[in-house]
Amino acid sequence: MLGNMLGAMLGEAWHAMGANRLRTILTMLGMVIGVGSVVLMMAIGQGAQYAVAQTISTMGSNLYMVVSGSTSAAGVRSGSGAGPTLNVSDADAIAELDAVTYAAPIHYGRQQLVFGSNNWNSTVVGTTPAYLGARSWTIVSGYGFSESDVRSASRVALIGQTAAENLFGADDPIGKTIRIQQSPFTIVGVLGSKGQNLDGRDQDDTVIIPLTTAQRKVFGTPFQGSVRVIMVQAASADAMPVVEKSVTALLRQRHRLREDMNNDFYIRNLAAAADSAAATTRVMSLLLGAIASVSLLVGGIGIMNIMLVSVTERTREIGIRLAIGARQKDILTQFLLEALMISVAGCLIGLILGIGGALLINAITNMVIVISGGSVLVAFAVAAGVGVFFGFYPARRAAALDPIEALRYQ
């Protein structure tokens, strides 16, 4: 019985919408634009979050960079990383701390790579095998160098994708010899691609060689064993504050710094920078969704205005219905269904246009677009809620009409 009544009401609502097709379409247009905008903006915002998350994952997780201090000569102070305040033994001591997974000493700089008639300026990183573990960096071809290569200062190298393409083109670089600072290095492995980091720098434009080889053959060091950076990976995100305190205390003790003396090193939390970038994209996504939601509000107001006009035009019809036994609840349900049908129909069309627009943007610009089921459901639920909310007042006004006054209405 209830199903038959509801079916009849839906039929009446469909008939009423069809009687004024142009007005119904114009009313629906507000919901179409609103829902389409929300879906499109949320797809762009979530795509930006995904892109940032992917970039963050390439850096490695739970990382600290311990950078050597500055120097001062004749009143001129250098920047961080210029002073010889860190060394390999510091890295070995840090690696023994609780909750530290990797501690990789690093000495790096830009150098010209030469292979035959080709040359390319790239970042050369002198480090230990722990560096690849801390960065979660895979080797897609060949193999990595070992601790024995570090101890013997072997002239072997791992090459990134960008550097390999510019030096070797489509050829396999494994086994080939390049020159760095006139010293020959044999390529033993090709690194997996990581893309750009948060600073926009190409992480694949690099060559990784044993630390001792970098110190003796490429860069040189003012003091034996000194390094510019030590990369430290904590065992978990929860352990990072403890690791930072432990590293600070250890290095101050090893460097014999009194309580009134400043640190001769700097600790940079890469996870904090990554979290900041992720938070920025989340705020941007919410802002885009909020701006697009204004269109839904405008669409809802349009539905309310048209439904008020419809109530006025159908006053005599309402009076007849009430006179022959229709209850106020029936009139209220009838007009609510009409508002809901307009809202849901506009929502469905808006979803199609929003998803289509997102896919079109992805095809044209290669921008990362993420269309999640959650965002679609939220847009649909909000649109339905807007229809009910803004349709309730006109429906209630129709249900409250006096039958006699309604029948007299001209």
Give pLDDT tens digits for 3-39. 454 555 555 555 655 556 776 777 777 778 777 877 8
Q: Please state whether beta strands 156-159 and 183-191 pair in parallel, antiparallel, or not at all (unpaired).
A: parallel
What sign does the dihedral 103-104-105-108 (CA atoms) show? negative
Check residues 42 and 167 and name the one with the higher pLDDT.
167
User: Rounded to two decimals, what is the model's pTM?
Assistant: 0.62
| DSSP symbols for 180-200 | ETTEEEEEEEEEPP--B-TTS
Task: Please give the average per-residue pLDDT across 291-307, as a whole number.
Answer: 72
Residue 117 pLDDT grade (very low, low, confident, very high; cuts 50, 70, 90): confident
| DSSP symbols for 344-383 | HHHHHHHHHHHHHHHHHHHHHH-------HHHHHHHHHHH
The secondary structure of residue 136, as a DSSP letter, is T
| DSSP symbols for 69-88 | ---EETTEEP-TT-S--EEH
Q: Of 344, 330, 333, whose CA–CA distance to 300 is shortest? A: 344
pLDDT at 8: 54
Residue 78: pLDDT above 50?
no
Q: For 86-152, list the strands marked E by DSSP.
A: 86-87, 100-115, 118-127, 139-142
Residue 103 pLDDT grade (very low, low, confident, very high; cuts 50, 70, 90): very high
CA–CA gap between residue 361 and residue 110 (Å, rounded) = 38
CA–CA gap between residue 332 and residue 65 (Å, rounded) = 66
% of the chain residues with pLDDT over 70: 78
CA–CA gap between residue 259 and residue 82 (Å, rounded) = 23
Give the tokens for residue 199: 């600073």
Give the tokens for residue 2: 């209830």
Residue 201: pLDDT above 70?
yes
Q: Of 191, 160, 192, 190, whose CA–CA distance to 175 is shortest? A: 190
Lowest mean per-residue pLDDT among 167-171, 238-242, 308-312 = 308-312
CA–CA gap between residue 224 and residue 87 (Å, rounded) = 8
Residue 80 pLDDT grade (very low, low, confident, very high; cuts 50, 70, 90): very low
Give the tokens for residue 305: 């205005």
pLDDT at 77: 43
The secondary structure of residue 202, as a DSSP letter, is B
Residue 94: pLDDT above 60?
yes
Lowest mean per-residue pLDDT among 90-94, 225-229, 292-296, 329-333 = 292-296
CA 28 to chain centroid, in Å, comes to 34
What are the distances in angstroms from CA 320 to CA 44, 275, 325, 351, 398?
51, 64, 9, 39, 12
Cβ–Cβ < 8 Å for 213, 155: yes
Measured in degrees and rounded to the nearest 5, phi and psi for residue 135 equal -85, 0
Those residues whose C-beta lies under 8 Å from the C-beta of residue 119, and which sit 6 or more positions away, are 112, 113, 167
Each residue's pLDDT tens digit, 261-286: 888 888 888 766 666 666 666 676 67
Q: Sketch the domain layout of the chain as residue ranges.
A: 2-55+276-408, 86-263
Residue 190 pLDDT grade (very low, low, confident, very high; cuts 50, 70, 90): very high
Measured in degrees and rounded to the nearest 5, phi and psi for residue 203 equal -70, -20
What are the distances in angstroms from CA 206 to CA 113, 128, 211?
10, 15, 14
